[in-house]
């Protein structure tokens, strides 16, 4: 079995920075209560590890104890949330990824220019809620089919941004459909570079692989997108969120397996999947024991 590893694996810089900041806070100030509002990253293993180090998970600001410090998630928050934190006098650490902050700035600029803000992304996803929450009103679409004339009735000028982890090709199809309805449309391509790099690597390697294993949480949008891109090119594509999952995939001894991962997948999890495949006779060509 030949194991081919994607060039880009494990955390993107945004997730890494958020996790490092959180771990440092927990280690440096054990006397303080740090509260995570929702999941600061989309990976259950990582969250469980932080909880074990003392991080408290809260779903609402009401649950923050007196003196508690709120850590805001890497995928960003709506303006209302900052206002509410200040109204309550709560201390907070803003762990929003710089790439997401750029999306917030772009959509506010779209509104200032008098254009109708349009967000390409999954309505209800926290990042999209945070982006939409930067402006008074925005249209959200996640597929070309959703770009219906009724939705854009009365829109004369539009400005589009995309969720940072959206699929590049699909975003461009959506933009084309919007432009067919609203010719005066500008598109700010805000899909982040780490997302594009991973998507391109999956597109490049999947056709040459017999099997594809994408490692990451099903709750992670970028992981699901990688899976869908690979699955469209190769039906023998599997998404696993824990190392044992690879044991259930019947990969023949002479197969080539391509491994990809989401941007919030820990390196140890990827290492363990590779170890398990190597134990079944796979050769990954790794020199230092890490992907």
Residue with tokens 């609402």, as numbered in its chain: 60
Site size for ligand SF4 (CB under 6 A): 15
Q: Which of 9, 214, 229, 263 binds ligand SF4 (CB under 6 A)?
A: 263
Q: Of all helices (H) and strands (E), which one includes residue 106?
A: helix 98-112
Rounded alpha-carbon distances, angstroms, from residue 205 to 126, 210, 214, 218: 30, 10, 12, 22
**CB of 280 within 8 A of CB of 247?**
no
Q: Which of 134, 165, 220, 234 binds ligand SF4 (CB under 6 A)?
A: 165
Where does this chain touch ligand SF4 (CB under 6 A) — which range of 176-184, 190-198, 236-244, 265-273?
190-198
- The least distance separating ligand SF4 from the CB of residue 99, rounded to whole angstroms, comes to 4
Catalytic option among 7, 126, 127, 168: 127
127 as an active site residue: the answer is: yes
- The least distance separating ligand SF4 from the CB of residue 23, rounded to whole angstroms, comes to 16
Tokens standing for 152? 């854009």
100 binds ligand SF4 (CB under 6 A): yes
- The least distance separating ligand SF4 from the CB of residue 60, rounded to whole angstroms, comes to 23
Where does this chain touch ligand SF4 (CB under 6 A) — which range of 7-15, 132-140, 231-239, 253-261?
7-15
Using CA atoms, how far apart are residues 262 and 239, in angstroms rounded to an integer? 10
Using CA atoms, how far apart are residues 256 and 176, in angstroms rounded to an integer? 37
The DSSP output letter for 159 is E
CA dihedral 172, 182, 154, 130 (to 10 degrees): 30
Q: Which of 121, 159, 194, 266 binds ligand SF4 (CB under 6 A)?
A: 194
Long-range contacts at 204-209 (CB < 8 A, ≥ 24 apart): 205/4, 205/6, 205/258, 205/260, 206/230, 206/233, 206/234, 206/237, 206/258, 207/233, 207/234, 208/4, 208/256, 208/258, 209/4, 209/234, 209/256, 209/257, 209/258
- The least distance separating ligand SF4 from the CB of residue 267, rounded to whole angstroms, comes to 15
- The least distance separating ligand SF4 from the CB of residue 130, rounded to whole angstroms, comes to 11
73 binds ligand SF4 (CB under 6 A): no
Q: Which is nearer to ligand SF4, 147 or 191 (CB)?
A: 191
99 binds ligand SF4 (CB under 6 A): yes
Using CA atoms, how far apart are residues 43 and 58, in angstroms rounded to an integer? 16
162 binds ligand SF4 (CB under 6 A): no
Q: Which of 3, 10, 14, 92 binds ligand SF4 (CB under 6 A)?
A: 14
State the residues that interact with ligand SF4 by CB under 6 A: 12-15, 74, 97, 99-100, 164-165, 192, 194-195, 222, 263
List, by residue number, the catalytic residues.
Answer: 127
């Amino acid at each position: 079995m030949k194991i081919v590893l994607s060039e880009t694996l494990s955390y993107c810089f945004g997730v890494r920075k958020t996790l490092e900041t959180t771990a440092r806070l927990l280690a440096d100030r054990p006397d303080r209560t740090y509260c995570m509002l929702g999941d600061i990253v989309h990976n259950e293993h990582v969250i469980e590890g932080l909880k074990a180090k003392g991080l408290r998970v809260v779903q609402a600001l009401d649950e923050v104890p007196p003196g508690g410090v709120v850590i805001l998630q890497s995928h960003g928050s709506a303006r209302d949330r900052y206002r509410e934190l200040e109204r309550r006098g709560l201390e907070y650490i803003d762990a929003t990824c710089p790439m997401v902050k750029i999306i917030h700035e772009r959509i506010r600029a779209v509104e200032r220019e008098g254009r109708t803000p349009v967000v390409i992304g999954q309505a209800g996803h926290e990042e999209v809620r945070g982006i939409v929450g930067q402006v008074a009103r925005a249209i959200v679409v996640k597929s070309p089919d959703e770009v219906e004339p009724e939705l854009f009735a009365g829109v004369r000028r539009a400005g589009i941004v995309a969720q940072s982890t959206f699929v590049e090709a699909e975003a461009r199809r959506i933009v084309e459909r919007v432009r067919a309805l609203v010719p005066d449309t500008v598109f700010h391509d805000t899909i982040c570079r780490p997302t594009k790099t991973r998507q391109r690597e999956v597109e490049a390697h999947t056709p040459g692989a017999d099997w594809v294993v994408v490692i990451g949480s099903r709750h992670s949008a970028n992981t699901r997108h990688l899976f869908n891109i690979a699955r469209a090119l190769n039906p023998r594509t599997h998404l696993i969120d824990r190392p044992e999952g690879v044991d259930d995939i019947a990969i023949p001894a002479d197969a080539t397996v391509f491994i990809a991962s989401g941007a919030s997948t820990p390196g140890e999890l990827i290492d363990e999947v590779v170890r398990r495949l190597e134990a079944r006779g796979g050769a990954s060509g790794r020199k230092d024991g890490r992907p």
